[in-house]
């Protein structure tokens, strides 16, 4: 006797009210360190967007059987505003796995939008790759502090000092992330500066955004100790593409389980994780 047919599932835009229905799916993804309150950040309009949605739900009329999240931000490319959507948690119940791609299609149809995937599962990575996503990073650099007698660069970590340096666009980034578990500092060299947005995990500072890559490359070796002290970590981690082969005396490379990916107009250096699940779901 054949099994009864599954109720047909349809994709619809998710709302904040869908969190309770989707949360059991999110619990299956991975980490026990993500509490209910942390997962709920994906279903919160953190940046007060108009026509906001946390992503798409696969709904069979009785329950949510799948979800794919998206976190939106904007940048300027060729003088025009361009949307960047970071794809987050992609989870579908086993019996509906054949419908998984339905959740991705609405994102692929968006105009003037680049899509990023920074924490793919092996299965999701293969799907994205087949759909034209390009690898932008396969490894990171872990940098350890050395004794330094640096007098050229200053590291600013106090809120008022950091905000006094930033331009208006960067001030918005700072404000957008104040309620999250991130650290924001500035490396200053006279009138020139580099703004860093970082998360922390297991004693390491993960650099998610760099405003001035050239200054960062020159200064990170001698300021690593000051930065680590200011955010209470023992080392720093940065994607290797931002280093461009820069030699750092006490550092090592680490390969990611799956490469970070992008689909759209963004170059590798334009891909950052400020407005991504790496920042939104961050825990110390």
**Is 37 in contact with 283 (CB distance < 8 Å)?**
no
pLDDT value at position 79? 86
- Please check the confidence at residue 196 and state whether its pLDDT lies above 90: yes
Q: How many CB atoms lie within 10 A of CB 246?
A: 15
pLDDT in tens, 114-168: 999 999 999 999 999 999 999 999 999 999 998 888 889 999 999 999 999 999 9
DSSP H stretches of helix in the chain: 19-26, 36-39, 101-108, 122-130, 159-165, 168-176, 213-231, 277-280
**Residue 270: closest CA among 72, 100, 136, 143:** 136
- Say how far residue 278 (Cα) sits from the centre of its chain: 4
- Residue 31 banded pLDDT, cuts 50, 70, 90: low
Burial class, 155, CB count within 10 angstroms (exposed 0-12 / middle 13-18 / buried 19+): buried
pTM of the model: 0.94
Mean pLDDT, residues 82-108: 96
39-53 average pLDDT score: 95
Burial of 174 (0-12, 13-18, 19+ CB in 10 A): middle
Query: What is the number of other CB atoms lying within 10 angstroms of the CB of residue 17?
Result: 8
238-281, pLDDT tens digit by residue? 999 999 988 898 999 999 999 999 999 999 999 999 999 999 99
Q: Which of 31-40, 176-185, 188-197 has the lowest mean pLDDT?
A: 31-40
CA–CA gap between residue 251 and residue 235 (Å, rounded) = 9
Share of residues in the chain with pLDDT > 70 (%): 98
Distance CA 234, CA 78 (A): 39
């Amino acid at each position: 006797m054949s099994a009864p047919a599954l109720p047909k599932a349809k994709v619809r835009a998710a709302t904040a009210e869908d969190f309770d229905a989707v949360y059991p799916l999110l619990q299956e993804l991975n980490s026990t360190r993500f509490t209910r309150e942390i997962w709920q950040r994906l279903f919160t309009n953190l940046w007060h967007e108009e026509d906001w949605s946390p992503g798409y739900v696969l709904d069979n009329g009785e329950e949510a059987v799948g979800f794919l999240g998206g976190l939106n931000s904007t940048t300027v490319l060729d003088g025009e505003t361009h949307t960047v959507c970071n794809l987050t948690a992609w989870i579908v119940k086993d019996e509906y796995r054949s419908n998984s791609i339905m959740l991705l299609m609405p994102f692929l149809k968006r105009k003037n939008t680049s899509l990023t995937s920074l924490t793919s599962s092996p299965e999701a990575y293969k799907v994205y790759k087949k759909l034209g996503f390009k690898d932008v990073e396969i490894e990171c650099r872990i940098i350890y502090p050395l004794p330094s007698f640096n007098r050229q660069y200053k590291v600013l970590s106090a809120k008022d000092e950091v905000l006094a340096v930033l331009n208006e666009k960067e001030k918005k980034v700072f404000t957008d992330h104040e309620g999250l578990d991130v650290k924001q500092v500035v490396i200053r060299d006279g009138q020139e500066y580099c703004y860093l947005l970082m998360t922390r995990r297991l004693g390491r500072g993960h650099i998610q955004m760099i405003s001035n890559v050239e200054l960062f490359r020159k200064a990170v070796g001698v300021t690593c100790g000051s930065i680590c002290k200011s955010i209470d970590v023992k080392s720093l981690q940065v994607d290797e593409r931002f280093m461009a082969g820069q030699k750092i005396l006490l550092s090592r490379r680490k390969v990611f389980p799956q490469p970070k990916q992008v689909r759209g107009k963004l170059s590798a250096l334009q891909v950052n994780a400020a407005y991504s699940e790496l920042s939104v779901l961050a825990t110390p």
